Amino acid sequence: MDRNNPAISANSRTALRWLIYLAPLVFLLLFFLFPLARIMVYSLAPEGALDLSGFAQILTSPYYLEIIGFTIVQAFISTALTLILALPCAYVFTRYKFPGKSLLLTLSTLPFVLPPVVVAAAFIALLGERGLVNDALTGLFGFSQPPLQLEQTLTLVFIAHTFYNYPVALRIITAYWANQNEHIEQSARVLGAHGWRLWWNVRLPMLRPALTAAALLVFIFCFTSFGIMLILGGQRYATIEVEIYRQAIGVFNLQAAAALSLLQIGFMLVLMFVYTRLQRRNAANTELKSAITVSHHPRGWREKSFVALNLLIMVSLLFIPLMALVVRAITFGGNGISFRYFEMLTTNPRGSVLFTAPINAIGNSLIFASLTAILALILGLIATWMINDKRTRFAAWLDPLLMLPLATSAVTLGFGYILALGQPPLNIRSSLALIWFAHTLVALPFVVRSALPAYGALPANVRESASVLGASPIQRFLKIDLPLMRRAIIVGITFAFTVSIGEFGASLFIARPESTTMPIVIYRLLGQPGAANYGQALAMSTLLLLVCAAALVIIGRFRTPGTAEF
């Protein structure tokens, strides 16, 4: 009936659209804005009157200004290093075929799932004073002192930041690039552009949406770096995030912690504003292409060595530290290769109430990660749709808003949760669902950042034809947009899944024993002395890697329903 009455149809469609749009808005309101507002009011207006002396204290103290300056500078350097290394490799993955390519790309996300304390252990095992590299160099050249002195230096922090963030940059850029129309580049070549001019005048501008999206995420991560900075950087270097934790937990100066959190959020808002302007000025002038015919086997020694060099960098950066971890897990304690710490994980000699069998920890991790990926995907796609809806004015503020949770200190938000979500009707501060929602909040930006550039580059003519032929917006979304955005969506799901399984701020939220996940088991084991505990922590980290590798391979094989690989 509705079809015969355009007015009703339009009205009900608008209502439906708003109902759908409400989902991410309500989610952000309940699980981000409201708790954040509660903790800010509690900290900055304890007696009812707003007290902003915390800000004055921070902005006039050389101690805090130095921390703020350091935070920004180290984030810029880390981001630049990550992009410089990842971009040529993204080119290799886009343009060349080589054996093991898709598996390598899938597994490149692995660094992302490891807790910082485990990553730090891996890097120290590799590059520390008595690490593998120093041992090898000393053995070869007979140095009297270890030649690499990296512990508690910024160099090690930058290496670890690059290790964590390289996958983000690589995957976002590759997903976007693989669907780019090759004709522009071919035309440029015909017109005589080669070498660096081809990069500077054609490729970089073409990739700008993906480059800026990747740079933004990497920057936020390094800007809010916590565990890596603490463990590898030593105590001399503190980011704003570290200082917030110190003020909130060590000193219990909530006023300073809240003021620092707001400064951090404010800085991110400015950054997001600049970013959104840049993106809009550069409104997608390239279109997604469905047929991917552009990659070929490397030809000639120059191409071959270029591919080989980039893969070598990638493997040394990403996989050697992971291998060092696995090797240590099976050789720890001497006596050659052994799996005894894996076996020990399954036993509960003291009959502890809080014991979690590895299979249950794996199960819990997978459940949280899957639920997080599903919810983040649904909310993220709706948000992407909203941001691009010309009939609404969401883009200007929804996009920055969605990114903010990444820039919000976990301890601040955690305190907000226990203040805001402890009364009926929303008394969920110690429920399992809260962990799910908190993970989703952090995973959402990844889905949106991956989906937005792809959505912006959807071919307008195909979508219009579908509408003209009578497809509803939802049909068009499911049949045209989704399949065309498949790569970007898979990248989004991958990161949502890994963010959750790596368990952001694992120890900052209330945990029930029945929801013990793999990272929590690792933290618990590392919290007690004794070889058996350390060996088991290494074994659990290895299991975490294996489970994630398997899950990533499976996610990489997802197909959008109703479509073949395009």
> Exactly one of 74, 94, 364, 412 binds other proteins (CB under 8 A); which one?
364
- How many residues touch other proteins (CB under 8 A)? 71
Site for other proteins in 402-431 (CB under 8 A): 411, 415, 418-419, 422-423, 429-431
Q: Which one of 83-91, 182-190, 393-401, 518-526 is the stretch in contact with other proteins (CB under 8 A)?
A: 518-526
Site for other proteins in 235-274 (CB under 8 A): 235-236, 245-246, 248-253
> Exactly one of 456, 523, 542, 543 binds other proteins (CB under 8 A); which one?
523
**How far is Cα 25 from Cα 19, in angstroms, rounded to an integer?**
10
> Exactly one of 23, 41, 72, 117 binds other proteins (CB under 8 A); which one?
117
The minimum distance between CB 37 and other proteins, in angstroms, equals 15
**How far is Cα 24 from Cα 383, in angstroms, rounded to an integer?**
7
> Exactly one of 124, 260, 322, 376 binds other proteins (CB under 8 A); which one?
124
φ/ψ of 422, rounded to 5, equals -105, 5
Q: Which one of 79-87, 193-201, 226-234, 394-402 is the stretch in contact with other proteins (CB under 8 A)?
A: 226-234
> Exactly one of 36, 81, 113, 120 binds other proteins (CB under 8 A); which one?
120
φ/ψ of 298, rounded to 5, equals -60, 135
Cβ contacts of 457 within 8 Å, gap of 6 or more = 176, 179, 209, 284, 286, 287, 288
CA distances from 29 to 34, 398, 402, 415, 437 (A): 6, 12, 11, 16, 12
- Examine residue 510 and tell whether it contacts other proteins (CB under 8 A): yes
Site for other proteins in 545-564 (CB under 8 A): 561-562
Q: Which one of 301-309, 310-318, 468-476, 532-540 is the stretch in contact with other proteins (CB under 8 A)?
A: 532-540
The minimum distance between CB 411 and other proteins, in angstroms, equals 8
Site string for other proteins, 148-177 (x = CB under 8 A): ----x-------------------------
Site for other proteins in 270-329 (CB under 8 A): none
The minimum distance between CB 542 and other proteins, in angstroms, equals 15
Residues 93 and 210: beta-carbon distance below 8 Å: no
φ/ψ of 161, rounded to 5, equals -60, -40
The minimum distance between CB 378 and other proteins, in angstroms, equals 10
Site for other proteins in 430-449 (CB under 8 A): 430-433
**How far is Cα 115 from Cα 133, in angstroms, rounded to an integer?**
23
> Exactly one of 202, 326, 532, 549 binds other proteins (CB under 8 A); which one?
532
CA distances from 220 to 78, 225, 509 (A): 11, 8, 22
φ/ψ of 424, rounded to 5, equals -60, 150
Site for other proteins in 84-113 (CB under 8 A): none
**How far is Cα 183 from Cα 164, in angstroms, rounded to an integer?**
34
Residues 292 and 178: beta-carbon distance below 8 Å: yes
> Exactly one of 121, 345, 438, 489 binds other proteins (CB under 8 A); which one?
121
Enclosing H/E stretch for 195: helix 195-197
> Exactly one of 35, 128, 167, 483 binds other proteins (CB under 8 A); which one?
128
CA 356 from centroid of its chain's CA atoms = 27
Q: Which one of 8-16, 95-103, 116-124, 312-320 is the stretch in contact with other proteins (CB under 8 A)?
A: 116-124
> Which structure tokens are listed for 532?
């058996």
Helix (H, G, I), strand (E, B) or coil at 385: helix
| Closest CB to other proteins among residues 128, 321 | 128
> Exactly one of 33, 374, 395, 471 binds other proteins (CB under 8 A); which one?
374
Neighbouring CB atoms inside 10 A of 130's CB total 10
Residues 562 and 551: beta-carbon distance below 8 Å: no
Can you tell me which residue has the tokens 């704003």?
Answer: 240
The minimum distance between CB 503 and other proteins, in angstroms, equals 13
